[in-house]
Every structure is written in structure tokens, then in C-alpha cells.
Amino acid sequence: TNIARDMNSVSNCLETKGEDTKRIVSLLPSITEIVASLGVANQIVGITHECDYPPEAIKGAKVVTTSDITPYNMTQSEIHEAVCGSLLSGQSLYGINREIICSVRPDIVFTQSLCDVCAVSYPVVLETCAKLIAGPPIVVDDNDDACQISNGELCPDVISMEPNNLEDVIKTFHVAAKALGGLKIQNRADKVTRDIRSGIEKIRRTVEEKPKPTVAFLEWHEPLFTGGHWIPDMLEIAGAKYTMCKSGERSAPMKDEDFILIDPDYILIGPCGFSLDRALEDTLAIYKKKAWWKELRAVKEGRVFALDGNSYYA
């Protein structure tokens, strides 16, 4: 798996810095939460403009990223057009403020290479870190998700998280712990992941004898996008029958007519990166924008739910 590759890369590529306290920059909200759960929230010195939890991790940390879009003032359709335009032009929607990231003097930078729509793209991170330390451009083998940029006084380790499914997500706690070093942190990762697995098994036991309703999960609806990667795993654990995509597959666009054919028992809508309030607002808007929406069984029977995509699904 990609996570196994991450573990090997961390072990083989990174120069050991012992158990000294590391100054951490996190370039993804979920990574900020993962790192904080390992008991090192006070070591996080740089975060993204989207990081909002936990409070102890973001307090005092400097925002090191910039964004070319303002999603809270845009419709889903407008955001989609901006994203497509950016990707077609080969540009990243997000950037890194070099002066700020230099000022926080990171020892380690956690990022991701899974999705250029969610956060700063991996190549941009590497290029910025290379320029940060006045080093030459870096060429990283496609099979490596971790490398050390070492030239000059600053030499931050760059660790890329790339979970494809729920099992991979759980393993990212160990990837982070391995990179941060220290037995205490690795023991903490063991405890956190044991608790997660225990919770998952409790849910499985609760629903194992219950009927399995068909469920549709939308992570976007202008246009429709299926919930991918770890969403199928989450729904399967919860006792749902989900056929829109398989575990580990990327979220993909879906035609209205294909969604109508599914006509699920339940519809869950958790727009990527949006709060519950915004998800509810956009969900209610569907009733006015899509004439066919009201003909679905789940809609008629009141089984449509808006979800906090930002906190629990992205």
C-alpha cells in the first residue's frame, strides 16, 4: 500500500534527529489533528488557513498557506469551475508564504499528495522548501513520499501522507509517529489506533444483525460527485450498502440520470471541506435547482441528511 511505502520512505530517507523536540508545520487540517492526537500539539508552529481544530494545536501557530479562492463566498458550481481551470492550467489553488514558513523554522513539514484540490500540491511544497533553504530544485522519485531537503541552515523533513482507504488513514498515525521519533510518541500512536479500531468493532457489532439500506453519499452536488477513498469503508462499517464506488477509489463525477437510477433509501450529503451549516444550506438548495430531486424515495420519505464534511469525512 501507499502507507507501507510511506513507512519505508520515512525509515530509509530521513536523517535521524533523535528525540529532540521538532518544530512542525502541517499543510492539511486532518494532519494537524493527527499530529495533535500524538501529544505534540505544542510543537505545531505552522498550519493552513483551513486548520481549525484542535484549539491547542492552532493556538500560537502561524498560517503559512494562501488560497486563490474564497469558497465561503462561492457556489459549489463556481468552486468547481475554479478548480477545473486551475488544474487544466497546471496551477495549484493554494500557495505557501515563504517568509512565514521561514520564520517558523520547521524541522518537519507534513503534507499530502493525494489531492491537489484539498491542499497545497506536493510539488509546490517541495519547490518552496527547496527555495526556503536556498537549495537547487529537487527531483523526487515518484515512488518516494518522504524526503529530506538538506542545504544550508534549515533542513526540514517533508513527509507526504497518502491514505486511500480507512485502513490507510489509521496507519497515518504511525507514519507521523515514525517521522517524529521517540518511543513515547510511537506508544501514543499505538493507543490512539487501538481506540479507533475498538470503536469500529463496536459499531460493527451494533449493526451486524440489522437490515442494510442502500445509501448514496455525495461529497459535491454541483456537479454530483461520489464519496470516495475511505467513505465506502465508513458506510460499510455503519451497516450500509454503498455501490457508488469501491473502497480506495477516488471521488468521481456522476450524471444526474445515474443517480436517479440508484434511488437510494438514504442520501447523505457531506460537501468536502464544508461545515454542517454550509452543507445544510447547499442541501436545501438542491430542492430548488434539481426538479427530479423531489421524486427520489429518500427525499419523499425524509431520509436526506446534511453532514459536517469538514470535520468527519474529508
Q: Give the CA-trace dihedral at 275, 278, 284, 289, to 10 degrees.
A: -120
Residues 2-19 have a mean pLDDT of: 40
pTM of the model: 0.83
Half-sphere exposure of 4 (CA within 13 A, CB side): 1
The pLDDT of residue 20: 66
Rg, C-alpha atoms of the chain: 20
Residue 256 CA to its chain's centroid (Å): 26
Quick one: which of 305, 131, 113, 136 has its CA closest to 218?
Answer: 305
pLDDT for 189 beyond 60: yes
SS3 assignment, position 225: strand
What is the tens place of the pLDDT at every residue in 276-309?
999 999 999 999 999 999 999 999 999 999 999 9
The pLDDT of residue 130: 55
pLDDT for 90 beyond 70: no
Torsion angles phi and psi, residue 159, rounded to 5:
-115, 120
Q: In angstroms, rounded to a whole number, what is the distance separating the alpha carbons of residues 45 and 60?
A: 7
What is the tens place of the pLDDT at every residue in 213-261?
999 999 999 999 999 999 999 999 999 999 999 999 999 999 999 999 9
**What is the share, in percent, of the chain residues with pLDDT greater than 90?**
64
The pLDDT of residue 145: 46
Is the alpha carbon torsion for 91, 226, 49, 73 positive or negative? positive
Model confidence band, residue 32 (pLDDT cutoffs 50, 70, 90): very high
The pLDDT of residue 123: 67
Residues 68-96 have a mean pLDDT of: 82
Residue 8: count other Cβ atoms within 10 Å of its Cβ.
14
Model confidence band, residue 116 (pLDDT cutoffs 50, 70, 90): low
**What is the share, in percent, of the chain residues with pLDDT greater than 70?**
80
What is the tens place of the pLDDT at every residue in 133-181?
444 433 334 444 444 444 456 678 888 888 999 999 999 999 999 999 9
Q: Give the CA-trace dihedral at 35, 39, 42, 44, to 10 degrees.
A: -10
Model confidence band, residue 268 (pLDDT cutoffs 50, 70, 90): very high
Residues 74-92 have a mean pLDDT of: 82
Q: What is the residue-averaged pLDDT of the chain?
A: 85
